[in-house]
Structure 1
Amino acid sequence: MSKDTRGNSRTVVITGGNSGLGYGSAQALLGSNEGPWHVVIASRHAGRAQTAVDALAAGAVVGHTVEAMMLDLASLASVRSFAAEVTERLATGALPPLHAVVCNAGVQMGTALATTADGFEATFGVNHLGHFALVNGLLPVLEAPSRVVVVSSGTHDPALRMGPPPAWNDPRALARGELGPAAARANALMRGQARYSTSKLANVYFTHALARRLPAGVTANAFDPGMMLGTALGRSLPAPVRFVAQHILPRITWLLRRTVTDNINTAQESGRALAWVVTAPELAATTGKYFDLRREKPSSEESYDAARAEQLWTDSLALTGVSATR
């Protein structure tokens, strides 16, 4: 495999970078005057990923580069294969040094209880376990200075009243799709939403536990993109709900900003903020924090339960078969 010829370029891996927030972030990185960046769009859809890469490359500032690599977070075998390929390409110089892993891809299931290839409930399996396995697989090549950015959501915080709150349970139970007592009276649709908010709470626990384990110069932070309308996140929701989310709500953004929350953004707006968290020099030593767009703020009160975070880490190691490297 030939050596990379992109000079002082550095690699940013973005899961789910072919659409929505991930695409907006890639677009911001490739359109910046900083870098140069080599963006890896990690996606399970080869065709969609290549279409995204072609569009991103066409708009990239000279010096930036972009490519697609296959990654299915619903399959631990795919995660291991991706991490191994990245590691090999870094070792041979076929990829520029790794600057950041952006854990962005996610699913929000509807009423049906879906499972991953490994038998985990899909929301918890993709949003948490897949990214947990990915980051741990890449820890040996995350050398200072480098970053992990985990995309969470304001839905993890009951105080923000953004839908059904998290219903935390033992992590092994969550992997089976069993929510905690807080969702005992929820209907099927609300349980689906609670699984999503619970997975976003897991993202914050993961960020805190990871930050405690990383060496100096390697950071981990969580990112809240705010409410984004018209993305593909709700593709598994019931058809009427999906239609409203994708076609009605984006047309009344102005009204929602006035009556619900002013933190409603396009994927491009949130993507630019995510790119800032990934690259801002002033954040080089910032770790274990939660960013609402570009503003550092406390995550939910529940998210600071260190015992839960450590249990999640230990159980995730067992569930994914990952060997602790740090």
Structure 2
Amino acid sequence: MSKYPTSILITGGTQGLGYFCARFIAQKQPNTLVVVASRTDPGNSAATINAELKQSNVKFMKLDLGTLATVRSFATAWKSGAYPPIQALVLNAGLQFPGDISYSSDGIEKTFAINHVGHALLYHLLRENLAADARIVVTASGVHDPAMKSGITGHYTNAADVAQPSADSIEKSYGRGRYATSKIANVLWAYALARRLAASPKTKGQTVTVMDPGLMPGTNLGREAPAVARWLFVTVFPRIIPFLRFLLRTQNVHLPAESGAALARLAVGEDVKGVSGKYFEGVQEIKSSVQSYQVDLQEELWEWTVEFVGSGKEERERFRRGE
């Protein structure tokens, strides 16, 4: 039996935004087990945080969100490990692929597979392990909203075409656009989940929120980008944050530590306890894109996701209800 009463699970918690979120939570709640889950952990993140804080409450678990089979393996390992109830499930991991379109081993567009589909399956498989008042926090991005004029345009029509794009859709899309599209899906799915949590007596104490962390130079989000672009983003841009804010005419440019603290707030902050179905830009609640509020699109994505990730009729029915 675990010595910790509750746990917090953060996907992509080994680098950048997720790392600082995990560190903030571990420091604030030393009696909570904080699990950082990612495909790799090159910086030995859990050991680093534990050493810095002189604690032992952070643990790494391997998680590859890119395939349904590996997500299921992770969920099986979680259940067999008898971990304490999940107080916060932070669905944070994300990748973008700037080059040509690529597909996961399950046959769907890779950005959508990692940023949305893997996370949705993870939620469904771990739902029974969530605490009665658990918080689900989804990391999205302001690029999902064309009104933000980020220069990156998503193209969400329906889930089937995002997952397996037609030739026409491929011609219209590009790597960063596919990333923006996956972030539209994140927001749509979160709003569909919020309705289901509120409607069921079993889950009415649980909440889901969405956060845009802003542009964060210094993260490894664009690790698939060309070498020069990676170098600028990781090495140069973090040193010129005020200039970037001036150049881009927005204050929503932050170091990962700043956005990590904002993400942690949604997971454990007392001032946002009970808040659900809301979208935040850092610490500020704002409106998401006009498209994200279209209930028909939310339900279409939810239904497609259930059908794709569910295994068998009984499991799909549970997933459909948000269980």
Do the two structures share a fold, i.e. TM-score over 0.5? yes
SS, match of residue 48 in structure 1: coil
Paired residues of 1:113 and 1:177 also in contact (CA < 8 A): no
Matches within 5 A, 1:1-326: 3-6=1-4, 8=5, 10-32=6-28, 34=29, 36-45=31-40, 47-48=41-42, 51-60=44-53, 62=55, 65-90=57-82, 95-178=83-166, 191-214=174-197, 215-260=203-248, 261-321=250-310, 323-325=316-318, 326=321
Q: Which shifted more, 151-160 or 161-170? A: 161-170
Unaligned runs of 5+ in 1: none
SS, match of residue 68 in structure 1: strand
Paired residues of 2:10 and 2:89 also in contact (CA < 8 A): yes
Alignment partners' CA distance in 1, 2:266 and 2:126: 20
- Cα offset for 1:185? 5.0
- Cα offset for 1:196? 0.5
Q: Which amino acid aligns with 2:39?
A: R
Alignment partners' CA distance in 2, 1:27 and 1:268: 9
Alignment partners' CA distance in 2, 1:31 and 1:141: 23
Unaligned runs of 5+ in 2: 198-202
Which residue pairs with 2:200 in the alignment?
Answer: none
Post-superposition, which runs of at least 4 consecutive aligned residues in structure 1 deviate over 6 A?
Answer: none
Alignment length (residue pairs): 309
Q: Which amino acid aligns with 2:69?
A: A
Alignment partners' CA distance in 1, 2:255 and 2:167: 31
- Cα offset for 1:179? 8.8
Q: Which amino acid aligns with 2:189?
A: F
| Percent identity for Structure 1 against Structure 2 | 37
TM-score relative to the length of structure 2: 0.90
Q: Which amino acid aligns with 2:163?
A: A
Alignment partners' CA distance in 2, 1:226 and 1:220: 19
TM-score relative to the length of structure 1: 0.89
